[in-house]
Amino acid sequence: MALSLAKWGRETFASLWVRNYRLYYIGQTISVSGTFTQQVAQAWLVLKLTNSGAALGLIAALQNLPVLLFAPWGGALADRYPKRRLLLVTQAGFGLLALLLGLLVITGWVRLWMVAALAFCFGLINAIDNPTRQSFIVEMVGAPHLRNAVSLNSTMMNVSRIIGPAIAGILITTIGLAPCFVLNGLSYAVVIVMLLAMHVAELNPAAVAPKGKGQIREGLRYVRATPLLRHILVIMAIIGTLTYEFQVSLPLMAEFTFAGTAGNYAALTSALGVGAVIGGLATASRKSASFRTLVVAAFFFGLSALAASVMPTLPLTVAGVMVVGFCSIYFSSTGNTALQLGSDPQMRGRVMALWAVAVLGSTAIGGPIIGFIGQYAGARWGLATGGVAALVAAGYGLLAMRRGPAAPHTA
């Protein structure tokens, strides 16, 4: 029993034995906790300024629109320049934006258009940062540990999803909104320190793509010609557009379905994180990422979201959202790993940029839709719409597997 447990531990946390990834992981845990602290505070700030679900969806859209429009260029930069250097620049930019928003709240000058402008600037930086971070993981740990590192990275994101909202709930109810933004701004300094502390010689960088015209079109042609990558991205785009809209659907449920407080929203967000942590640990010890597993995960993701949307009480909804979190991370880590392992190293930045478009950029479309549905049809319908979308995506994947030899089965 003890030997089996020790083996499970070694397999589950294998990538953390790599020094550079361990430093990265520590920095990201602190920084992402700050990000989720700010996310709760920003959503609550928008609701207090407007009392509008549509406005909340609009801010989410503006924050992700640059990823939709410019992530392919960000991916080209990630393939063209050393990723660690790019991350030093993007993390500094994020920190300055968070501190500026904190200053506006402290002074009482903050207005909705200012929140919108800063959210858009955050998205511009994220269009470069996200594909760079995603494709940097394999350079730290190598292909054998990629699935493990991606799963642990997802687990870390969701541990932070628990910590961040809890911090936000305490700060908002005791001190106010402004410290949430200031704390997040300072957290990016930790990431910068960890990046500077890495042993560059221990990284395994892909060959840098030469500068030239048509690199974005080249990436698009590459994905279009590779069925595995194409089908994964289509599935992710459907789910990213309407299912991964928790930053809109959950605050609406907390505010309008349960006549809630910031604490209710923090409870729902933390529950999503708890479920995702469990899902991440369950995924981390798996060494393969099959397309079939991705389709099954999408199906259960949709089913769990539909179930959570009809729970009659807040405690039951919290429990349902926890299951949603489990399914969401199992789905996303499987898709992320399959996409990276199925990509040529010199194309990985551009491929992961399209992943960012599917996951984050699609929010620019889905955020206002879910916000509108939640505002006028009811908050539960926003979450339920996401569940239906995930079931549709699973259906698409099933059809892809049945098409014959061209359909992907394993990554």
pLDDT confidence of residue 130: 92
**For residue 408, what pLDDT is reported?**
45
Burial of residue 92 (CB within 10 Å: 0-12, 13-18, 19+) is middle
Q: Is 2-197+215-402 a CATH 1.20.1250.20 domain?
A: yes
pLDDT of residue 120: 96
pLDDT at 280: 77
Task: Locate the DSSP E strands across 339-392.
Answer: none
- Residue 156 CA to residue 153 CA, distance in Å, equals 5
Q: Report pLDDT for 17.
A: 92
Can you give the pLDDT at residue 124? 95
Q: What is the pLDDT of residue 151?
A: 79
> Where do the DSSP E strands lie in 86-214?
none
pLDDT of residue 403: 79
The answer to pTM > 0.85 is no
Residue in the structure block whose two tokens are 């309008």 = 256
Return the pLDDT at 289: 67
The amino acid at residue 61 is: A
Q: Which residues of the chain register pLDDT less than 50?
A: 405-411
CB 240 within 8 A of CB 362: yes
3-state secondary structure of 290: strand
pLDDT score at 226: 87
**What are the backbone angles phi and psi of residue 410, rounded to the nearest 5°?**
-135, 155
CB 216 within 8 A of CB 73: yes
Angle among Cα 55, 53, 358 to the nearest 5 degrees reads 75
